[in-house]
A and B are shown apart, each in its own frame.
Chain A
């Protein structure tokens, strides 16, 4: 910390504290101490305060003690001569700044209810400020931090000199897969507004997140980081040191200060250093180059806009793997969520109006010419803007190590691979694919062959170890497309039957998954054919393929060994493996039980099942369901208590698909125990649920399972299932 920076940061902290105190007093008088305050739909209270102090602020009256903590943290101003050491006091003042700003922002939620778009991923015509991420958005996005698709975020404060520069910097950050969190203004301009002016699509889907118009919205970015540590890292609220170091080591975030650095900005920058997030400025402020709290430098200044992204990434110590894909548009995960709408559509394929089908299939080596992409039929250049085409894409793969089982794994990648091209939107898979290509993309030269080129390049980059050659044929001629559709459907059916027929007994090897150990160091998943990965992303075959691709990677074969307990699904080999891989934290896991040694979760599970003792049954809830569930907790609270690699009997994380697998919680009575699910989840799984219910001999089971439209509390669930005569009522006691 230089003296100038420390002095300014401490001054800034005083100013922000004073403002918070003023607002607190006003709010206390106006609303009284019992008035509820907080950010919308979160179980993490005011997340920075919660993460650092362990205090969950939910009422105005509780803010007093936080302000008291702030007062103790903020030191007197730095003296001109023979001053006392200032680095530590400035860092403390920075922390107090965030506490104060959370108070400010939460009171603003109360005072100006329309300031931020609540629960929205997208900006609107009239409001571009997204405010704090609710837990749904947070979990969905947080998972990307966990699996590495987003290495971190750039917190942009202020504004670029012009919209073009802003757009360029944002694009560079997107290409590095980073999230961009924006707040504050410089000379009346704001980065987020500049992006809109430049025609850039902003919002959570494009990773360009306009948090708020003022500097105090910086807490939404830092709060996000705090929640990642609590939700996925198993860091307990109040364990501040762990949270900060967790973020320093794992969340590659930094601050880009664009424009005049005010005292308040300095205070926020000082605060961010506690998390190991350095500041990179475009103005000639003093630098702090000695290392130690951040991984490398703490403040680097006067960086030209051409180099600022590169410099920031280097200062933060981040190695970004950028995929080189030969397409004329930008490419990367940050563009996955970008949408192509109405006016912008140049050509659309599928989506119910035309056929669109994607099929990956194996061929013999001599049949495939690697890298060949053929477009048979009309291409985008042959049709006017706003057209529709039929679409069939066949990726023909060959190689000594290629197995038929890998076909669906590669094919399933198509969605996000194609979607990652800027200006191209991809939804669905198989014969329900849906693709839009934007005018902007076509303007830059994007044609259908580029979809094939993406498939060729990315298959090789990500799965090169399991095949040797791939060629892609794209058809747009309706007759040809229908021909492919026939073949593809036959293939899908064949695959489904094969997967359906796989059992845990039928294999000797399960696979571990420690993909998320970068964020949840003690958690380890074991994936078996009948217990797919709890994140929903990895089934047994995926893991098998992943192991073949990278034998040193996150998926390792686990000899399941002797079956110790058939009912609960305990295997000696798996227990030994988990004991080691969880760093001696967990000694045994059941594959089929939530009551006895349930498997742990990092927090990114799709659903969490919980026992409802009064009902003698279980409920499950997926992460899209925001309300409180009959077990008395919201999904996010449940995830908070079972996540982070802890074993909590009575609760287990699982995938949606797993609910209809035959071994699902078999040891506790299986699907017949299910008494409550969110309606939407029930609908999503309806076909499979029905099929499974028939197998179990109770075809109308789905109607006996309560949802939120009929029961919100355990008592109401009990009343409902009693009325419906749910089978669990006559089963042996679950506890």
Chain B
């Protein structure tokens, strides 16, 4: 790869990539230069499901050449659809297994067996308990929580019926799902069934396969992910807007730096508690540090950032760079998106890499397993290791001087509150201002970083284009952190970047034009927010009627595909960037990009150019505005007595 390639639009990232290069440390950026994406794998036209293959079925460049088939006779449609479905299954499994861990911890917390955990949001506990049909009158919150935890756990292993949360969706949407038979029965069952149906010689009709992919994705979005978000909120508190600080500059030279990386907020929550322990503080001072500086990385960062304002060191592609500062004493990792390369980078410094999940070890890394019963002790132990490691810094510390203030923590509940206060909380002002055109529409821009594109660039280009056109953006995951670093998560960004209508609404409410809604598992918050908009009225009666669109311009993980599929199946037009994993089959691609709209009123699109992708989203939003009849200005209605009487 040429040296001219722009690696990132983030200055801190560029500074440390340069340092890595000069120190000759291998990072994701240098490895990407060395390894090109496999041309057959990139379009998913390779089948390695049985030992008669692997069969490679690349698209033929010559038209006369006969269509290729696998040795079993599998068509390219079957191969591509199977690969796609398996990715969705892996993504759904990841969110849901994270969720299961949360539920199990939740049950222990309810029993009082989880060290340092409690029920923090009783209001939400009661709300969620009601969703699960749990009796709440005159009952102890812990008892309700226990029943809720057990009921939630059953959602994973349920074999029949429908997932409980399905009924939270707009009625019209539920009807569509039932019509196509894609209502999930149990979370695990849908994953298992994909694995079965994609085994050699089972389901060999791509449309039929993709129905199950949808059912499995819905089991994630309206199941595993949603359960995880809700129970985390109950245990750790529903996020409310807080001021945070983001980018590698949050690391402090004179502090013991501990970076929490991964996805499950369980241990990080306890690290937050433990870091405030006077004994720990005193220990840190004893080794010459000014204190403990806890910082997040990836979605663990999002979780602790939005609940506690704990600074965030960066997103996915910055994980190795954090260690390259030479200032990190300990990095803990649990599950998902942790590069094995971390171990090699850590070895170049004094940094201790600690794996904490019983499901994830990295060869050569320390392993200190988190268990809810002893979580707080574990957290303290980890901090002590970090403190003891502080004097071992052997390299000059190089922390880029970049960090940015952000306002984060926009849960569905918070948005509801922010739009009307405690006494008049509702989505009415949002709907009203969409109807009157100040806000053109709503976009969910989410997802990962991908080293094959310029780090953060697509996120920012797309989001700036959207807000310039008065589209309010909801964001999660690494996309949210990209926005944070670029200053888009500040109220001041409204005047600077947003169109006049959106800016006016942001000024009225005092919010940024881009709202940080959490980690990637929190995309369910966006579904609930969209549903709340539908229920508030005036914007149709299904999510698909909303002037809204979704995107993951820098996606890389299988979780992103699961998310995308559940958004599409929930009626959202969803655009992905970087690359697209069904290009090996025109028919599968057409099915996803066109035919799904006839079924779910949502569909996929692939557009690597973020500006063009934003245009597609805007076109879709305008199409929906027209369908709603809100594409033209409306006359002010004045009310007389008879009209008021009719209000009832």
User: Which A residues contact B (CB, under 8 angstroms)?
Assistant: 1-3, 6, 52, 73, 78, 81-92, 95, 148, 151, 240-241, 244-245, 249-250, 252, 274, 288-293, 295-296, 298, 313-314, 317-321, 514, 517-518, 521, 554, 583
**Contact of A81 with B492 in the complex, beta carbons under 8 Å:** yes
In the complex, the answer to whether A82 meets B492 with C-beta atoms within 8 Å is yes
Comparing B77-85, B310-318, B430-438, the segment that makes contact with chain A is: B430-438
Contact A91 B647 (CB under 8 A): no
Bound Cα distance from A710 to B57, whole angstroms:
105
Taking each of B421, B425, B433, which has the highest tally of chain A beta carbons within 10 Å of its own beta carbon?
B421
Which residues of chain A are within 8 angstroms of B423 by Cβ–Cβ distance? 52, 91-92, 95, 240-241, 244, 274
Residue of A nearest to B644 (CB): A518
User: Nearest chain-B residue to A4 (Cβ)?
Assistant: B507
The answer to whether A319 touches B643, judged by C-beta atoms less than 8 angstroms apart, is yes
Stretch at the interface among B16-24, B320-328, B613-621, B632-640: B632-640
Residues on A with C-beta less than 8 A from B406 are: 82
B418 touching A83, Cβ below 8 Å: no
7 A-B pairs besides A3-B491, A6-B510 with CB distance below 8 A are A3-B510, A82-B492, A88-B418, A245-B424, A290-B505, A296-B636, A518-B641
* Interchain nearest-CB distance for B230 vs A (Å): 22
Chain A, Cβ-Cβ closest to B425: A88
Contact of A82 among B407, B420, B640 (CB under 8 A): B407
B493 and chain A: residue at smallest CB distance: A82
Ordered nearest first, which 5 A-B pairs have the shortest CB separation? A292-B429, A91-B421, A319-B638, A86-B510, A148-B641
Residue of B nearest to A252 (CB): B639
Minimum CB–CB distance for A565 against chain B, Å: 30
Q: Is the CB of A88 within 8 A of B508?
A: no
Q: In the complex, A293 Cα to B536 Cα: how many Å? A: 13
The listed residue (A83, A92, A295, A320) touching B510 by CB distance below 8 A is A83
Closest B residue by C-beta to A78 = B510
Q: Nearest Cβ in chain A — how far from B433, in angstroms?
A: 5
| B417 proximal to A (CB < 8 A) | yes
Q: How far is the CA of A274 from the CA of B419 in the complex (A)?
A: 11
B510 touches A250 (CB 8 A): no
- The residue that A1 contacts in the complex, of B436, B508, B637, B644, with Cβ under 8 A, is B508
Tell me which of B422, B436, B505 contacts A92 (CB under 8 A): B422
Q: A83 and B429 in contact (CB under 8 A), knowing A291-B436, A319-B640, A521-B648?
A: no
CB contact between A85 and one of B418, B425, B432, B643 (< 8 Å): that residue: B418
Complex interface: chain B residues within 8 A of A85 (CB): 241, 407, 418, 491, 509-511
What is the minimal beta-carbon distance from B315 to any residue of chain A, in angstroms?
20
Q: Is B359 an interface residue (CB 8 A)?
A: no
CA distance A396 to B432 in the complex (A): 53
CA gap between A185 and B511 in the complex, in Å: 34
Closest chain A CB from B485 CB (angstroms): 14
Q: Which of B429-460 contact A (CB under 8 A)?
A: 429-433, 436, 438
14 sample A-B contacts, Cβ–Cβ < 8 Å, listed by A number: A81-B492, A82-B407, A83-B510, A84-B241, A84-B510, A85-B491, A86-B510, A91-B423, A289-B508, A290-B433, A290-B508, A292-B420, A293-B428, A521-B648
Pair A88/B645 contact, Cβ less than 8 Å: no
Residues of B within 8 A of A92 (CB): 421-423
Which of A83, A84, A289, A314 meets B636, CB within 8 Å?
A314
Question: B421 touching A241 by the CB < 8 A rule?
Answer: no
Closest CB-CB distance, B159 to chain A, in whole Å? 40
B243 within 8 A of A: yes
Q: Enumerate chain B residues within 8 angstroms of A87, measured Cβ to Cβ.
A: 418-419, 421, 508-510
Q: How does the 8 Å CB contact mask read for B492-524 relative to A, with 1 for contact and 0 for none? A: 100000000000110111110000000000000
Q: Are A289 and B417 in contact (CB under 8 A)?
A: no
**Chain A interface mostly:** loop
Give the Cβ gap from B492 to chain A, nearest Cβ, in Å. Answer: 7
Residues of A within 8 A of B491 (CB): 3, 82-83, 85
B429 & A290 in contact (Cβ 8 Å cutoff) = yes
Query: Chain A residues near B643 (CB, 8 Å)?
Result: 319
Is B636 touching A95 in the complex (CB atoms < 8 A)?
A: no
Residues of A within 8 A of B508 (CB): 1-2, 87, 288-290, 298
By the criterion CB–CB under 8 Å, are A73 and B510 in contact?
no
B631: interface (CB < 8 Å): no
Q: Are A289 and B504 in contact (CB under 8 A)?
A: yes
- B636 & A319 in contact (Cβ 8 Å cutoff): no
Q: Output the least CB separation between B409 and chain A (Å).
A: 9
The one of B407, B510, B639 that contacts A317, using a Cβ cutoff of 8 Å? B639
Closest-CB distance, B220 to chain A (whole angstroms): 30
On chain B, the residues within 8 Å of A241 by CB distance are: 423-424
Bound Cα distance from A6 to B647, whole angstroms? 31
Q: Report the separation of the CA atoms of residues A301 and B428 in the bound assembly, to the nearest whole angstrom.
A: 23
**Smallest distance from the beta carbon of A307 to chain B beta carbons, Å?**
16
B250 to chain A, nearest CB (A): 15
Nearest-neighbor residue (CB-CB) of B241 within chain A: A84
> How far is A663 from B429 in the complex, measured between Cα atoms in Å?
52
**Bound-state Cα–Cα, A709 to B161, Å:** 72
> B436 — which chain A residues lie within 8 A by C-beta?
291
Q: Which residues of B contact A3 (CB under 8 A)?
A: 491, 507, 510
CA of A87 to CA of B417 in the docked complex: distance in angstroms? 10
Complex: chain B residue closest to A286, CB-CB? B507
B147 at the binding interface (Cβ < 8 Å): no
Q: Are A88 and B420 in contact (CB under 8 A)?
A: yes
Residue of B nearest to A94 (CB): B421
Closest CB of chain B to A499's CB: distance in Å? 29
Instruction: Determine the chain A residues whose CB is within 8 A of the CB of B421 once the complex forms.
Output: 87-92, 95, 274, 293
Query: Which residues of B have CB within 8 Å of A320?
Result: 640
Take A84-B242, A87-B418, A241-B423 as given contacts and tell me if A317 and B637 are in contact as well, using a CB distance cutoff of 8 Å. Answer: yes
Q: Which residues of A contact B504 (CB under 8 A)?
A: 289-290
* Cα–Cα, bound, A417→B417 (Å): 48
Residue from A91, A245, A313, A554 having most chain B Cβ neighbours under 10 A: A91
The reply to whether B647 and A293 form a contact with Cβ atoms under 8 Å apart is no
In the bound complex, residues from chain B placing their C-beta under 8 Å from that of A313 are 638
For residue B490, CB closer than 8 A to chain A, the reply is yes
Interface check B405, CB cutoff 8 A: yes
CB distance from A600 to the nearest CB of B (A): 16
* Residue in contact with B639 in the complex, picked from A88, A288, A289, A318, CB distance below 8 Å: A318
Bound complex: CA A583 to CA B243 (Å): 48
Task: A318 to B418: give the CA distance in the assembly, Å.
Answer: 27
Contacts of A319 in B (CB 8 A): 638-640, 643
Shortest C-beta distance, B201 to chain A (Å), equals 56
List chain B residues, Cβ under 8 A from A89: 421
Known contacts A6-B510, A82-B492, A91-B424, A293 near B429 by CB under 8 Å = yes
Residues of B within 8 A of A314 (CB): 636, 638
Q: Which residues of B contact A86 (CB under 8 A)?
A: 509-510
Contacts of A88 in B (CB 8 A): 417-422, 425, 509
Interface centre among B425, B432, B643 (most CB of A within 10 A): B432
Chain A's closest residue to B647 (CB) is A249
Chain B residues whose CB sits within 8 angstroms of the CB of A521 once the complex forms: 648
The residues in B between 282 and 337 inclusive whose CB is less than 8 angstroms from any CB of A are: none
Check if B637 sits within 8 Å of A291, measured CB to CB: no
B192 to chain A, nearest CB (A): 44
Q: A140: shortest Cβ distance to chain B, in Å?
A: 19
Residues of chain B within 8 A of A517, CB atoms compared: 645, 648
- In the assembly, what is the distance between CA of A535 and CA of B420, in Å? 37
Contacts of B242 in A (CB 8 A): 84
Q: Which residues of A contact B433 (CB under 8 A)?
A: 290-292
When C-beta atoms are compared, the residue in chain B nearest to A52 turns out to be B423
* Contacts A95-B422, A292-B428; A249 near B644 (Cβ below 8 A): yes
Decide if A82 touches B490 in the complex (CB within 8 Å): yes
Cα of A148 to Cα of B644 in the assembled complex, Å:
10
Quick check: B509 and A2 within 8 Å, CB to CB? no
A residues in contact with B647, CB < 8 Å = 249-250, 518
Q: B391 to chain A: closest CB distance in Å?
A: 36
Closest beta carbon of chain B to A412's beta carbon, Å: 21
Bound complex: CA of A245 vs CA of B432, how far in Å?
16
Among residues of A, the one whose C-beta sits closest to the C-beta of B404 is A82
Distance to closest chain A CB from B389 (angstroms): 33
